[in-house]
Amino acid sequence: MKHIYTLTYQQHTLRRSAVAVLFCCLGFFTTFDAAAQQYPLFTNYLLNQYGFNPAVTGLVEDMQVNLFYRRQWTGFPDAPNTQLAAFRTRLRRVPFGVGGYFFKDEAGALRRSGGTALLSYTQQLGAFTSISVGFAGGLHQYRLMDGFTVREDGDQVVYNARMGMWAPDFNAGFYLNTNDFYFGFSIPQLFAPKIRFGDDGRQSRLETHYYLVTGYDWTINDNFRLEPSLMLKLVDGVPLQMDAGLRGILFNRFWVGTLYRTEDAVAAMAGFAAGNALDVAYSYDFTTSGLRHAAAGSHEINLVFRIGNFSDRDGDGVSDKQDKCPDAAGPRRNDGCPEDIFAEKGLSDQDDDGIPDHLDLCPEIPGPTENHGCPWGDRDGDGIPDHLDDCPGLAGVAMNNGCPVNDSDGDGIIDQFDQCPDVPGSFANRGCPDADTDKDGVPDPLDKCPNTFGPPSNDGCPIVTPEETNILELAVRNLYFQTGQIQVWQQSAPFLAKLADLMKQRADWRLRIAGHTDNKGSERVNLLLSKDRAESVYQFMLDKGVRREQLVMEYFGQTKPFVPNDTEANRQLNRRVELEFIFD
């Protein structure tokens, strides 16, 4: 990948206006630190987890359709707004969940839209515990909003942005769920795709995000529950953001809550169930960052529709087919039965095998105590029956088919997924040590200039100082030719000599030399003339001691005029050699 620093002095001004627009717009898709998050923000994140964690897709009883709208920073011009429509359902005969969503996210002059498909697998670890893993894949488009203009509208970068730039998006996650506790972790933009803005190699990377969500459903009594929750969001180079929330749920139908988002907002939330088929939720963010002086807060609306045979006679939020007490309201942790009924009648034992359901790994199939209530054995006691356990004599986990999770090299990546199981490595390099070709401390997979030394603060690319930029620009400004001539002007030599000295000091930098002509003469003659002019500068740099491998020469004849060839002054500008730094 080539990271271009600048072109000619004149072209630098043109490109900078176009690229600045796109990078500023990409930066406007933000949820924290007003800088770097490129994924939509959810205040009611517990209602929209499939938007960033596909593992929750199958954790529903019937088909569910969600509609979501968020308007951020009311009153702020071109503030972000997000619209999302999604569905998910659990398959009947296999433990898979499927779904998808379509969205549109607008901020400033940039619009992102697209669709994503969701797939999850859920494995029961016991009567009250399950673990799910999920994967999502989709295609997102980035484009400038209609009617938006820039100073140089004909620039290739802007043209591509108007047509739309596509990028894939992959997301993986897992989710641990019990009756009263949940924990999820997911990685949106898993492979950090890149968007190419123009034909000159300019591109931007969509950063990998890391989400952690956890919470606890605390039953106070049959009619009231408290649900504290926490979301942590991390993007490379951006401070960790925390969303801490608390909901109070009354009669399993009404809830109110609040949320605090670090260095951004405090939110008020409320929701209710309008019958068994519809949930409505609303939140309002009170901005606490510096934007509070320029804009009001943010609105968010969620609608959840349930489609299917969702009968719930007692209105406790547990469907009749899952409710062991369908005529008496009770919390989900008690399978829909109130606490006092359990106290009077004792513990439930559906299969009459003498093992209470909350201790029975097979509550609907009789089995002996030594098999934890299942008709088949579980010798290692890991909750995975022997007939499904690849390691029946060793306690393991479901995600590893009942076998222990081994990590021979201690790098945090289990051997099953580690391509270098005996040598510590990184997740980004699939468990193998990260290569660092230029020895700058930035691993090659994360280094935007893997062959050129540069600090981590600049993604591994060199930092070009204002003085070094001025040397390049002065050399370009003074590098022109008479009609039909190939010799470097005598007055250009001092500026080129200073640039040659800089290249010798920066031995790992490279310089592109590109020759151009005006339109006087035939195309073939002009092509050869541009080649001779580029070679003249190329030879000058060699004579001054610049190494040959630091120089890249190109020539284009009259095909790329800088300005129209309609006056002699303009033709003089087109008789030029362009110079630019290249960092590989």
- Tens-digit pLDDT profile for residues 545-557: 999 998 999 999 9
Among candidates 51, 35, 55, 33, which has minimal Cα distance to 43? Answer: 51
Q: Please state, in angstroms and rounded to a whole number, the distance separating the CA atoms of residues 373 and 95.
A: 21
**Residue 33 tokens, joined:** 């630190």
d(CA 582, CA 474): 18
CB-count burial class (<10 Å; 0-12, 13-18, 19+) for 537: buried
Domain membership of residue 104 (yes or no) is yes
Least confident residue range of 182-196, 251-265, 436-450: 436-450
- In a domain? residue 385: no
542 within domain boundaries: yes
Count of helices and strands (H, E) across the chain = 7, 21
Tell me, what's the pLDDT at 28? 42
Average pLDDT of span 390-402: 76
pLDDT confidence bin for 119, thresholds 50/70/90: very high
Q: Which of 254, 275, 307 marks a domain boundary?
A: 307
**pLDDT reported for residue 576:** 83
Distance from chain centroid for Cα 424: 26
pLDDT of residue 199: 57
Q: In whole angstroms, give the CA distance from residue 415 to residue 421.
A: 5
Q: Distance of CA 91 to CAs 9, 58, 87, 123, 186, Å? A: 61, 8, 13, 13, 22
Identify the CATH number of the domain in which residue 184 sits. Answer: 2.40.160.40
Q: Which of 250-264, 272-286, 304-318, 468-482 has the lowest mean pLDDT?
A: 304-318
Total domains in the chain come to 2
Is 360 a residue whose pLDDT tops 80?
no
* Token pair for 265: 């907002």
Asked if the model's pLDDT at residue 158 lies above 80, the reply is: no
Q: Which domain holds residue 494?
A: 466-583
CA 565 vs CA 151, 517, 569: distances in Å: 21, 10, 9
Question: What pLDDT score does 513 carry?
Answer: 92
Dihedral angle, C-alpha 553, 557, 560, 562, nearest 10 °: 90
Evaluate whether residue 170 is within a structural domain: yes
Phi, psi of 163 (to 5 degrees): -70, -25
Three-class SS string for 2-40?
A: CEECCCCHHHHHHHHHHHHHHHHHHHHCCCCCCCCCCCC
Q: Does residue 507 or residue 275 have the better pLDDT?
A: 507
pLDDT, tens only, 404-462: 777 777 777 777 777 777 777 777 677 777 777 878 877 777 778 888 888 888 888 88
Residue 327's pLDDT is 65
Q: How far apart are CA 434 and CA 172, in angstroms?
A: 22
Query: Which of 245, 273, 307 represents a domain boundary (last residue)?
Result: 307
pTM over 0.75: no
Q: Is the pLDDT of residue 298 over 50?
A: yes
Q: Exposure string (b/e) for 469-507, b if CB count within 10 Å is 16 or more?
A: eebbbbbbebbbbeeeebebeeebeebbeebbebbeebe
The pLDDT assigned to 6 comes to: 33
Higher pLDDT, 26 or 503: 503
- What is the predicted pLDDT for the residue at 334? 61
Residue 539 maps to a domain: yes
Q: How confident is the model at residue 85 (pLDDT cuts 50, 70, 90)?
A: very high
CATH number, residue 489: 3.30.1330.60
Question: Do 197 and 220 meet the contact criterion of CB atoms below 8 Å apart?
Answer: no
Nearest to 29 by CA among 110, 141, 146: 110
Strand partners, 64: 88, 306
**210-238: pLDDT as tens digits:** 999 999 998 888 788 899 999 999 987 78
Q: What is the pLDDT of residues 475-514, one digit of tens each?
A: 888 776 666 677 777 788 888 899 899 989 988 888 999 9
Q: Which two tokens stand for residue 108?
A: 């400033």
Tally of CB atoms within 10 A around 89: 19
Strands 209-216 and 224-235: antiparallel
Neighbours of 381 (CB within 10 A): 8
If pLDDT is split at 50, 70 and 90, which confidence band does 244 have?
Answer: very high
- Whether residue 33 has pLDDT greater than 70: no
Mean pLDDT of 270-284: 88
The answer as to whether 175 is a domain residue is yes
Query: Taking 80 as the threshold, does the pLDDT of residue 523 lie above it?
Result: yes
Strand partners, 105: 82, 112
- Which tops the pLDDT comparison, 155 or 231? 231
- Segment 36-48, tens digit of pLDDT: 446 677 888 888 8
Query: Do 348 and 333 form a contact (C-beta atoms < 8 A)?
Result: no
Q: What are phi and psi of 333, to 5 degrees?
A: -65, -20
In which region does residue 217 sit, left (phi positive, over 0), alpha (psi from -120 to 50) or beta (all else)?
beta
Residue 346 has pLDDT above 80, yes or no: no
**Cβ(233)–Cβ(241) below 8 Å:** yes
* Continuous H helices in 423-576: 466-477, 493-505, 523-543, 568-574
Bridge pairing between strands 63-71 and 81-90? antiparallel
Question: What pLDDT band is residue 174 in, cutting at 50, 70 and 90?
Answer: very high
Residue pair 478/470 in contact (Cβ under 8 Å)? The answer is: no
Please report the DSSP string for 441-476 in residue order: SS-GGG-SSTTS---GGGTTS----HHHHHHHHHHH
Q: Which of 278, 307, 336 is the last residue of a domain?
A: 307
Q: How far apart are CA 367 and CA 386, in angstroms?
A: 14
Q: Is the pLDDT of residue 260 over 80?
A: yes
Instruction: Indicate whether 348 belongs to any domain.
Output: no
- Let me know if 158 is exposed, middle or buried by CB neighbors in 10 A (0-12, 13-18, 19+): buried
Q: Does residue 11 fall inside a structural domain?
A: yes
Computed over every residue of the chain, the mean pLDDT equals 79
- Residue 305 CA to residue 302 CA, distance in Å, equals 10
